[in-house]
Protein backbone atom coordinates (compact mmCIF):
# COMPACT_ATOMS: atom_id res chain seq x y z
CA UNK A 1 0.00 0.00 0.00
CA UNK A 2 1.26 3.47 -0.84
CA UNK A 3 -0.93 6.54 -0.81
CA UNK A 4 -1.15 10.02 0.68
CA UNK A 5 -3.04 10.47 3.93
CA UNK A 6 -4.24 13.90 5.02
CA UNK A 7 -5.90 14.93 8.27
CA UNK A 8 -8.37 17.74 9.02
CA UNK A 9 -8.13 21.03 10.92
CA UNK A 10 -11.60 21.49 12.52
CA UNK A 11 -11.99 25.26 12.25
CA UNK A 12 -15.77 24.86 12.43
CA UNK A 13 -15.68 23.13 15.82
CA UNK A 14 -14.78 19.85 17.47
CA UNK A 15 -16.47 17.57 19.96
CA UNK A 16 -16.78 14.06 21.35
CA UNK A 17 -20.42 13.98 20.25
CA UNK A 18 -22.14 15.26 17.11
CA UNK A 19 -25.11 17.62 17.13
CA UNK A 20 -24.76 18.78 20.72
CA UNK A 21 -22.64 21.04 22.91
CA UNK A 22 -21.90 18.09 25.20
CA UNK A 23 -18.21 17.27 25.01
CA UNK A 24 -17.55 20.30 22.80
CA UNK A 25 -14.16 21.99 22.69
CA UNK A 26 -13.16 25.59 22.31
CA UNK A 27 -11.54 26.22 18.95
CA UNK A 28 -8.56 28.46 19.54
CA UNK A 29 -5.05 28.73 18.19
CA UNK A 30 -3.51 26.44 20.79
CA UNK A 31 -5.90 23.61 19.98
CA UNK A 32 -5.57 23.98 16.21
CA UNK A 33 -1.81 24.10 16.59
CA UNK A 34 -1.87 20.88 18.63
CA UNK A 35 -3.71 19.10 15.83
CA UNK A 36 -1.41 20.46 13.12
CA UNK A 37 1.75 19.50 15.03
CA UNK A 38 0.30 16.07 15.80
CA UNK A 39 -0.43 15.50 12.12
CA UNK A 40 3.01 16.77 11.11
CA UNK A 41 5.01 14.62 13.53
CA UNK A 42 2.95 11.49 13.01
CA UNK A 43 3.61 11.49 9.28
CA UNK A 44 0.37 12.73 7.73
CA UNK A 45 1.12 14.24 4.33
CA UNK A 46 -1.12 17.26 4.72
CA UNK A 47 -4.19 18.80 6.28
CA UNK A 48 -7.45 20.10 4.84
CA UNK A 49 -8.88 23.34 6.18
CA UNK A 50 -12.63 23.76 5.59
CA UNK A 51 -14.14 26.97 4.26
CA UNK A 52 -17.44 28.81 4.68
CA UNK A 53 -19.18 31.07 7.16
CA UNK A 54 -19.31 28.29 9.76
CA UNK A 55 -15.49 28.22 9.86
CA UNK A 56 -12.64 30.39 10.98
CA UNK A 57 -10.92 31.75 7.88
CA UNK A 58 -8.84 29.01 6.27
CA UNK A 59 -6.05 31.25 4.93
CA UNK A 60 -5.48 33.03 8.22
CA UNK A 61 -5.42 29.77 10.18
CA UNK A 62 -3.19 27.95 7.70
CA UNK A 63 -0.74 30.88 7.58
CA UNK A 64 -0.52 30.87 11.39
CA UNK A 65 0.48 27.19 11.32
CA UNK A 66 3.36 27.43 8.83
CA UNK A 67 5.97 28.05 11.51
CA UNK A 68 4.55 25.40 13.83
CA UNK A 69 5.07 22.62 11.27
CA UNK A 70 7.91 21.30 9.15
CA UNK A 71 6.66 18.96 6.44
CA UNK A 72 2.87 19.27 6.54
CA UNK A 73 1.12 20.52 3.40
CA UNK A 74 -1.97 22.72 3.65
CA UNK A 75 -4.99 22.20 1.40
CA UNK A 76 -6.63 25.65 1.46
CA UNK A 77 -9.68 26.85 -0.47
CA UNK A 78 -10.00 29.53 -3.10
CA UNK A 79 -13.58 30.71 -3.68
CA UNK A 80 -14.23 31.89 -7.27
CA UNK A 81 -16.72 34.72 -7.22
CA UNK A 82 -15.92 35.71 -3.65
CA UNK A 83 -12.39 36.86 -4.40
CA UNK A 84 -10.67 38.04 -7.55
CA UNK A 85 -8.19 35.84 -9.41
CA UNK A 86 -5.40 38.38 -8.91
CA UNK A 87 -5.83 38.54 -5.15
CA UNK A 88 -6.05 34.75 -4.92
CA UNK A 89 -2.87 34.37 -6.97
CA UNK A 90 -0.92 36.69 -4.67
CA UNK A 91 -2.22 34.92 -1.57
CA UNK A 92 -1.30 31.53 -3.00
CA UNK A 93 2.15 32.62 -4.18
CA UNK A 94 2.98 34.26 -0.87
CA UNK A 95 1.85 31.27 1.14
CA UNK A 96 3.76 28.87 -1.09
CA UNK A 97 6.93 30.94 -0.77
CA UNK A 98 6.69 31.40 2.99
CA UNK A 99 6.00 27.68 3.52
CA UNK A 100 8.64 26.58 0.99
CA UNK A 101 6.21 24.83 -1.33
CA UNK A 102 3.68 23.39 1.14
CA UNK A 103 0.48 24.81 -0.35
CA UNK A 104 -2.25 22.86 -2.12
CA UNK A 105 -5.30 24.63 -3.55
CA UNK A 106 -8.87 23.43 -2.98
CA UNK A 107 -11.19 25.01 -5.57
CA UNK A 108 -14.64 25.48 -3.99
CA UNK A 109 -17.63 26.75 -5.95
CA UNK A 110 -20.01 26.43 -2.99
CA UNK A 111 -23.42 24.80 -2.75
CA UNK A 112 -25.32 26.80 -0.13
CA UNK A 113 -27.18 29.55 -1.94
CA UNK A 114 -28.09 31.38 1.26
CA UNK A 115 -24.50 31.45 2.46
CA UNK A 116 -23.24 32.66 -0.92
CA UNK A 117 -25.82 35.42 -1.16
CA UNK A 118 -24.93 36.55 2.35
CA UNK A 119 -21.32 36.80 1.17
CA UNK A 120 -22.37 38.85 -1.84
CA UNK A 121 -22.34 36.22 -4.60
CA UNK A 122 -25.68 36.14 -6.41
CA UNK A 123 -25.22 33.39 -8.97
CA UNK A 124 -27.03 30.13 -9.57
CA UNK A 125 -25.39 26.73 -9.90
CA UNK A 126 -24.62 27.05 -13.62
CA UNK A 127 -23.30 30.59 -13.30
CA UNK A 128 -21.01 29.63 -10.43
CA UNK A 129 -19.36 27.00 -12.61
CA UNK A 130 -18.99 29.51 -15.44
CA UNK A 131 -17.30 31.86 -12.98
CA UNK A 132 -15.06 29.08 -11.69
CA UNK A 133 -14.05 28.10 -15.22
CA UNK A 134 -13.04 31.67 -16.09
CA UNK A 135 -11.42 32.19 -12.69
CA UNK A 136 -9.13 29.19 -13.13
CA UNK A 137 -8.13 30.22 -16.64
CA UNK A 138 -7.09 33.62 -15.34
CA UNK A 139 -5.50 32.15 -12.20
CA UNK A 140 -3.32 29.78 -14.18
CA UNK A 141 -2.57 32.34 -16.88
CA UNK A 142 -1.50 34.93 -14.32
CA UNK A 143 0.92 32.49 -12.75
CA UNK A 144 2.37 31.68 -16.17
CA UNK A 145 3.14 35.39 -16.52
CA UNK A 146 2.49 35.51 -20.23
CA UNK A 147 -0.19 36.88 -22.47
CA UNK A 148 -2.42 34.64 -24.54
CA UNK A 149 -0.09 35.20 -27.49
CA UNK A 150 3.03 34.31 -25.49
CA UNK A 151 4.08 37.92 -24.96
CA UNK A 152 5.57 38.91 -21.62
CA UNK A 153 3.26 41.83 -20.94
CA UNK A 154 0.92 39.78 -18.79
CA UNK A 155 -2.20 37.73 -19.23
CA UNK A 156 -5.31 39.21 -20.84
CA UNK A 157 -8.74 37.65 -20.57
CA UNK A 158 -12.14 38.90 -21.66
CA UNK A 159 -14.82 36.55 -20.37
CA UNK A 160 -18.48 36.65 -19.57
CA UNK A 161 -17.89 37.14 -15.85
CA UNK A 162 -14.19 38.02 -15.48
CA UNK A 163 -12.04 40.50 -17.40
CA UNK A 164 -8.36 41.17 -16.73
CA UNK A 165 -5.59 42.96 -18.61
CA UNK A 166 -1.89 42.43 -18.05
CA UNK A 167 -2.29 39.97 -15.15
CA UNK A 168 1.03 38.61 -13.92
CA UNK A 169 2.74 37.31 -10.80
CA UNK A 170 5.86 39.19 -9.75
CA UNK A 171 6.62 36.82 -6.87
CA UNK A 172 6.00 33.34 -8.29
CA UNK A 173 5.22 30.30 -6.13
CA UNK A 174 7.84 27.71 -5.28
CA UNK A 175 5.85 24.90 -6.94
CA UNK A 176 5.81 24.98 -10.74
CA UNK A 177 3.80 25.88 -12.64
CA UNK A 178 1.58 26.49 -9.60
CA UNK A 179 0.44 24.74 -6.41
CA UNK A 180 -1.66 21.71 -7.42
CA UNK A 181 -5.39 22.28 -7.86
CA UNK A 182 -7.80 19.98 -6.01
CA UNK A 183 -11.51 20.06 -6.77
CA UNK A 184 -14.66 18.15 -5.86
CA UNK A 185 -18.08 18.23 -7.46
CA UNK A 186 -20.64 15.70 -8.63
CA UNK A 187 -22.63 17.63 -11.22
CA UNK A 188 -22.15 17.48 -14.98
CA UNK A 189 -20.62 20.96 -14.95
CA UNK A 190 -18.26 20.01 -12.14
CA UNK A 191 -17.03 16.90 -13.92
CA UNK A 192 -16.36 18.76 -17.14
CA UNK A 193 -14.54 21.57 -15.35
CA UNK A 194 -12.37 19.15 -13.39
CA UNK A 195 -11.51 17.12 -16.48
CA UNK A 196 -10.11 20.17 -18.25
CA UNK A 197 -8.55 22.29 -15.53
CA UNK A 198 -7.67 20.63 -12.21
CA UNK A 199 -5.00 18.20 -11.07
CA UNK A 200 -6.74 16.11 -8.40
CA UNK A 201 -10.44 15.23 -8.47
CA UNK A 202 -11.97 14.68 -5.02
CA UNK A 203 -15.04 12.68 -4.11
CA UNK A 204 -16.84 12.38 -0.82
CA UNK A 205 -16.98 8.92 0.73
CA UNK A 206 -19.57 7.13 -1.36
CA UNK A 207 -19.69 3.32 -1.65
CA UNK A 208 -16.90 1.87 -3.82
CA UNK A 209 -19.18 1.12 -6.79
CA UNK A 210 -20.29 4.78 -6.98
CA UNK A 211 -16.71 5.99 -6.63
CA UNK A 212 -15.59 3.62 -9.38
CA UNK A 213 -18.22 5.04 -11.72
CA UNK A 214 -17.08 8.60 -10.98
CA UNK A 215 -13.47 7.70 -11.66
CA UNK A 216 -14.33 6.00 -14.95
CA UNK A 217 -16.29 9.06 -16.05
CA UNK A 218 -13.56 11.50 -15.03
CA UNK A 219 -10.82 9.53 -16.75
CA UNK A 220 -12.81 9.44 -19.99
CA UNK A 221 -13.54 13.17 -19.83
CA UNK A 222 -9.93 14.07 -19.05
CA UNK A 223 -8.71 11.92 -21.95
CA UNK A 224 -10.72 14.11 -24.34
CA UNK A 225 -8.46 16.99 -23.31
CA UNK A 226 -5.31 14.90 -23.49
CA UNK A 227 -5.00 14.97 -19.72
CA UNK A 228 -4.79 12.54 -16.81
CA UNK A 229 -6.12 13.15 -13.32
CA UNK A 230 -5.25 11.98 -9.85
CA UNK A 231 -8.03 11.09 -7.42
CA UNK A 232 -8.71 11.63 -3.74
CA UNK A 233 -11.50 10.80 -1.30
CA UNK A 234 -12.79 12.63 1.78
CA UNK A 235 -13.81 10.35 4.66
CA UNK A 236 -14.18 10.27 8.43
CA UNK A 237 -12.63 7.38 10.33
CA UNK A 238 -13.59 5.56 13.52
CA UNK A 239 -10.90 2.98 14.20
CA UNK A 240 -10.50 0.96 17.39
CA UNK A 241 -8.60 -2.17 18.29
CA UNK A 242 -11.67 -4.33 17.64
CA UNK A 243 -14.61 -4.05 15.27
CA UNK A 244 -17.07 -4.16 18.16
CA UNK A 245 -15.34 -1.25 19.88
CA UNK A 246 -15.34 0.77 16.65
CA UNK A 247 -19.06 0.30 16.07
CA UNK A 248 -19.78 1.16 19.68
CA UNK A 249 -17.78 4.39 19.22
CA UNK A 250 -19.80 5.19 16.09
CA UNK A 251 -23.06 4.84 17.99
CA UNK A 252 -21.72 6.94 20.85
CA UNK A 253 -20.80 9.72 18.43
CA UNK A 254 -24.48 10.34 17.63
CA UNK A 255 -25.89 9.22 20.96
CA UNK A 256 -26.74 12.74 22.16
CA UNK A 257 -28.29 14.19 19.00
CA UNK A 258 -32.08 14.19 18.98
CA UNK A 259 -34.36 13.63 16.04
CA UNK A 260 -35.47 17.29 15.96
CA UNK A 261 -31.89 18.44 15.36
CA UNK A 262 -31.47 15.83 12.62
CA UNK A 263 -34.67 17.05 10.94
CA UNK A 264 -33.51 20.68 11.06
CA UNK A 265 -30.13 19.77 9.58
CA UNK A 266 -31.68 17.70 6.80
CA UNK A 267 -34.09 20.53 5.95
CA UNK A 268 -31.13 22.91 5.63
CA UNK A 269 -29.21 20.50 3.41
CA UNK A 270 -32.27 20.04 1.18
CA UNK A 271 -32.16 23.73 0.28
CA UNK A 272 -28.65 23.45 -1.15
CA UNK A 273 -28.10 23.02 -4.88
CA UNK A 274 -24.99 20.86 -4.42
CA UNK A 275 -25.34 17.55 -6.26
CA UNK A 276 -22.68 16.10 -4.00
CA UNK A 277 -24.70 17.02 -0.92
CA UNK A 278 -27.79 15.45 -2.47
CA UNK A 279 -25.84 12.23 -3.03
CA UNK A 280 -24.62 12.24 0.58
CA UNK A 281 -28.14 12.78 1.91
CA UNK A 282 -29.56 10.00 -0.26
CA UNK A 283 -27.28 7.48 1.46
CA UNK A 284 -29.20 7.68 4.75
CA UNK A 285 -32.35 9.72 4.04
CA UNK A 286 -32.11 11.35 7.44
CA UNK A 287 -32.85 8.06 9.21
CA UNK A 288 -30.83 6.27 11.87
CA UNK A 289 -31.90 2.71 11.07
CA UNK A 290 -29.78 1.90 7.99
CA UNK A 291 -26.54 3.83 8.37
CA UNK A 292 -24.08 1.15 7.18
CA UNK A 293 -24.42 1.95 3.47
CA UNK A 294 -21.58 -0.33 2.36
CA UNK A 295 -19.43 -2.75 4.36
CA UNK A 296 -17.82 -0.68 7.15
CA UNK A 297 -18.96 2.58 5.52
CA UNK A 298 -21.19 4.40 8.02
CA UNK A 299 -23.33 7.42 7.10
CA UNK A 300 -24.15 8.56 10.63
CA UNK A 301 -21.98 11.68 10.43
CA UNK A 302 -24.15 13.00 7.59
CA UNK A 303 -27.24 13.09 9.78
CA UNK A 304 -26.14 16.48 11.10
CA UNK A 305 -22.97 17.39 9.20
CA UNK A 306 -22.95 18.79 5.70
CA UNK A 307 -20.40 17.77 3.11
CA UNK A 308 -18.44 14.64 3.92
CA UNK A 309 -20.90 12.48 5.85
CA UNK A 310 -19.50 8.96 5.90
CA UNK A 311 -16.90 7.18 8.03
CA UNK A 312 -14.86 4.04 7.71
CA UNK A 313 -15.56 2.04 10.87
CA UNK A 314 -13.65 -0.97 12.12
CA UNK A 315 -10.47 -2.41 13.53
CA UNK A 316 -7.12 -1.44 11.94
CA UNK A 317 -6.98 -4.36 9.51
CA UNK A 318 -10.54 -3.77 8.34
CA UNK A 319 -10.08 -0.04 7.81
CA UNK A 320 -6.81 -0.60 5.97
CA UNK A 321 -8.51 -3.17 3.72
CA UNK A 322 -11.35 -0.77 2.92
CA UNK A 323 -8.82 1.94 2.06
CA UNK A 324 -7.07 -0.51 -0.25
CA UNK A 325 -10.39 -1.16 -2.03
CA UNK A 326 -10.61 2.53 -2.85
CA UNK A 327 -6.93 2.65 -3.79
CA UNK A 328 -7.48 -0.21 -6.22
CA UNK A 329 -10.06 1.96 -7.97
CA UNK A 330 -7.52 4.75 -8.46
CA UNK A 331 -7.69 6.77 -5.25
CA UNK A 332 -4.22 7.91 -4.18
CA UNK A 333 -5.10 10.53 -1.55
CA UNK A 334 -7.24 9.98 1.56
CA UNK A 335 -8.40 13.10 3.41
CA UNK A 336 -9.53 11.88 6.79
CA UNK A 337 -10.97 13.20 10.04
CA UNK A 338 -12.39 11.86 13.28
CA UNK A 339 -13.86 13.06 16.54
CA UNK A 340 -12.26 14.49 18.55
CA UNK A 341 -9.69 15.36 15.90
CA UNK A 342 -6.64 15.44 18.14
CA UNK A 343 -7.11 12.02 19.71
CA UNK A 344 -8.38 10.37 16.54
CA UNK A 345 -5.34 11.61 14.59
CA UNK A 346 -3.11 9.75 17.06
CA UNK A 347 -5.33 6.69 17.18
CA UNK A 348 -5.50 6.32 13.42
CA UNK A 349 -1.76 6.86 12.96
CA UNK A 350 -0.84 4.41 15.70
CA UNK A 351 -3.24 1.67 14.60
CA UNK A 352 -3.42 1.99 10.81
CA UNK A 353 -0.21 3.65 9.61
CA UNK A 354 1.92 0.53 10.20
CA UNK A 355 -0.47 -1.38 7.90
CA UNK A 356 -0.32 1.12 5.02
CA UNK A 357 3.37 1.93 4.96
CA UNK A 358 3.27 5.27 6.78
CA UNK A 359 5.70 6.29 9.52
CA UNK A 360 6.21 9.25 11.86
CA UNK A 361 8.37 12.10 10.56
CA UNK A 362 9.73 13.01 13.99
CA UNK A 363 13.46 12.33 14.35
CA UNK A 364 13.46 9.44 16.82
CA UNK A 365 16.18 7.28 15.25
CA UNK A 366 18.65 8.04 18.08
CA UNK A 367 16.22 6.82 20.74
CA UNK A 368 16.63 3.17 21.65
CA UNK A 369 13.94 2.89 24.31
CA UNK A 370 12.44 2.00 26.58
CA UNK A 371 9.17 3.00 24.94
CA UNK A 372 6.05 3.45 27.04
CA UNK A 373 5.66 4.27 30.71
CA UNK A 374 8.08 2.62 33.12
CA UNK A 375 6.27 0.15 35.38
CA UNK A 376 6.75 0.35 39.16
CA UNK A 377 9.76 2.68 38.78
CA UNK A 378 12.05 0.03 37.27
CA UNK A 379 10.27 -2.44 34.97
CA UNK A 380 10.51 -1.73 31.23
CA UNK A 381 7.29 -2.35 29.29
CA UNK A 382 7.51 -5.08 26.67
CA UNK A 383 6.13 -5.06 23.15
CA UNK A 384 3.08 -7.31 22.89
CA UNK A 385 3.53 -10.33 20.64
CA UNK A 386 -0.22 -10.70 19.95
| pLDDT tens figures, 3-32 | 999 999 999 999 999 989 999 999 999 999
Cα 384 to Cα 142: distance, rounded to the nearest angstrom: 56
Distances (CA, A) of 12 to 75, 119, 149, 232: 16, 17, 44, 22
Q: Which range is least confidently modeled, 115-124, 203-212, 231-240?
A: 115-124
Contact 342, 35 (CB under 8 A): yes
Higher pLDDT, 280 or 349: 349
Look at residue 147 and tell me whether its pLDDT is greater than 50. Answer: no
Q: What rounded mean pLDDT belongs to the chain?
A: 90
Distances (CA, A) of 124 to 79, 206, 291, 343: 15, 26, 32, 40
Domain-located, residue 295: yes
Please compute Rg for the chain using Cα positions: 22
Look at residue 332 and tell me whether its pLDDT is greater than 90. Answer: yes
Q: How many domains does the chain have?
A: 1
The residues, ordered by sequence, that sit 6+ positions from 274 with a Cβ below 8 Å of its Cβ are 111, 112, 186
Domain-located, residue 372: no
Name the residue among 10, 4, 2 with its Cα closest to residue 339: 10
- What's the CATH code of the domain at 51? 3.20.20.30
Instruction: Give the pTM.
Output: 0.90
Cα 173 to Cα 96: distance, rounded to the nearest angstrom: 5
The per-residue pLDDT for 375 is 79
- 284-298: average pLDDT: 90
Domain-located, residue 235: yes
How would you label 140-150 residue by residue, b for 16+ Cβ within 10 Å and e otherwise? bbbbbbebeee
The per-residue pLDDT for 175 is 95
Q: What residues pair up with 204 in beta bridges, in sequence order? A: 234
Cα 36 to Cα 48: distance, rounded to the nearest angstrom: 10
The per-residue pLDDT for 385 is 60
Domain-located, residue 278: yes
Domain-located, residue 160: yes
Domain-located, residue 377: no
Domain-located, residue 361: no
Q: Quote the domain boundaries for residue 305.
A: 4-356
Q: Which range is least confidently modeled, 11-15, 71-75, 99-103, 165-169?
A: 165-169
- 371-376: average pLDDT: 80
Summarised one tens digit per residue, pLDDT across range 346-358 is 999 999 999 999 8
Domain-located, residue 369: no
- 148-163: average pLDDT: 78
Q: Where are the beta strands (DSSP E) in 289-384?
A: 292-294, 297-298, 311-314, 331-337
Amino acid sequence: MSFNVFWFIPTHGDSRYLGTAKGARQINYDYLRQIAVAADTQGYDGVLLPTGRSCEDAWVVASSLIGATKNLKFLVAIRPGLSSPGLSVRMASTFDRLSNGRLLINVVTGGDQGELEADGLWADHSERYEITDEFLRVWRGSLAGEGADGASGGFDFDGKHIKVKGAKTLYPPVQKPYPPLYFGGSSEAAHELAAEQVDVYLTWGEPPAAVAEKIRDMRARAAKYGRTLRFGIRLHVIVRETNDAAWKAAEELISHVDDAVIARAQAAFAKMDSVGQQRMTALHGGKRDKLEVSPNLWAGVGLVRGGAGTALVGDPETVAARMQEYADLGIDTFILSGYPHLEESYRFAELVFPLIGKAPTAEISTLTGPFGEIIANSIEPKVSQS
